[in-house]
Amino acid sequence: MVICIPSGITEVEKRAVRDSAEIAGAKEVYLIHEPMAAAVGIGIDVEEPVGNMIIDIGGGTTEIAVIALSGIVCDQSIRVAGDNFDSDIVQYIRRQHNIMIGERTAEKIKIEVGAALPELSDPPADFAVQGRDLMTGIPKQITVSYTEIAHCLDKSISKIEEAILKALEITPPELSADIYQTGIYLTGGGALLRGLDKRIQAKTKLPVHVAEDPLRAVVRGTGIALKNIGRFKFLMQ
């Protein structure tokens, strides 16, 4: 059994994952760090002596890792990701429109009209949102635009940008030189936020690539590791 684990996991947590898998009947258990699995899933040759930066923006955490020679050289992990975007939207709609919406509606808004930049070349149409009017208590409908959502997500995205800059700062110079060439790979559901690649590109002045099918890069990589267990054993623990 191959199980992917966050790169910031503790030894105790690792033990717990391994024990659970063994209790579930696994004969051999291998753990692979999520950024490494993502890199394999994206199709990066992780064994090469070349640095690659992977940013995985999930629901609960954003993980930023530099990978080279089959290992994670440095990484940053922050608890700012998709769920924060949802709660930013709930708060914004309450403050600005006096309407109460749930987290699920907020996630839908993020997917339909979410954006990281207030101006996009290919903008989505305004989106109709139903919620409860806080003044009257009666259900009400409003429309929201991507520009509004870009403004309300700005603070959380800035926190992610800060973590990226910090990760670049602690990257050994040889690998920095590689990343200057190879750029940054965005993965996880957050990579789908409109304009996020352009925003990070503008902030870092580095090429930013969105992984193909970013929601499944980690699980794809884990599957590849499982199917080629002999070849990828050295990546796992």
Ligand X SMILES: Nc1ncnc2c1ncn2[C@@H]1O[C@H](COP(=O)(O)OP(=O)(O)OP(=O)(O)O)[C@@H](O)[C@H]1O
Binding site residues, ligand X, CB under 6 A: 58-61, 81-83, 107, 110-111, 114, 188-190, 192-193, 215
How many other CB atoms are found less than 10 A from the CB of residue 196? Answer: 24
Q: Segment near Mg ion (CB under 5 A), from 11-19, 56-64, 79-87, 98-106?
A: 56-64
Which of ligand X, Mg ion, none lies near 171, with the C-beta cut-off 5 to 8 A by kind? Answer: none
Tell me which DSSP letter residue 125 carries.
P
Q: Which residues pair with 100 in a beta bridge?
A: 132
CA dihedral 135, 139, 140, 145 (to 10 degrees): 100
Say whether residue 214 binds Mg ion (CB under 5 A): no
15: phi then psi, degrees, rounded to nearest 5: -60, -45
Distance CA 47, CA 232 (A): 10
Which of Mg ion, ligand X, none lies near 83, with the C-beta cut-off 5 to 8 A by kind? Answer: ligand X
Beta carbon nearer to ligand X, 35 or 50:
35
Say whether residue 35 binds Mg ion (CB under 5 A): no
Q: Positive or negative CA dihedral for 8, 11, 16, 19?
A: positive
**Distance in Å, CB of 37 to Mg ion, minimum:** 9
Distance CA 104, CA 119 (A): 25
Which of Mg ion, ligand X, none lies near 120, with the C-beta cut-off 5 to 8 A by kind? Answer: none
Say whether residue 82 binds Mg ion (CB under 5 A): no
Which of ligand X, Mg ion, none lies near 107, with the C-beta cut-off 5 to 8 A by kind? Answer: ligand X
Which two three-digit tokens encode residue 141? 């409908």
**Distance in Å, CB of 25 to ligand X, minimum:** 24
Which position's Cβ is nearest Mg ion? 58
Beta carbon nearer to Mg ion, 58 or 221:
58
DSSP string, 161-226: HHHHHHHHHTS-HHHHHHHHHH-EEEESGGGGSBTHHHHHHHHH-S-EEEPSSGGGHHHHHHHHHH
Beta carbon nearer to ligand X, 180 or 210:
210
**Distance in Å, CB of 34 to Mg ion, minimum:** 6
Say whether residue 58 binds Mg ion (CB under 5 A): yes
Q: Tokens 């996991």 sit at which residue?
A: 9
Which of Mg ion, ligand X, none lies near 221, with the C-beta cut-off 5 to 8 A by kind? Answer: none
**Which residues contact Mg ion by CB under 5 A?**
58
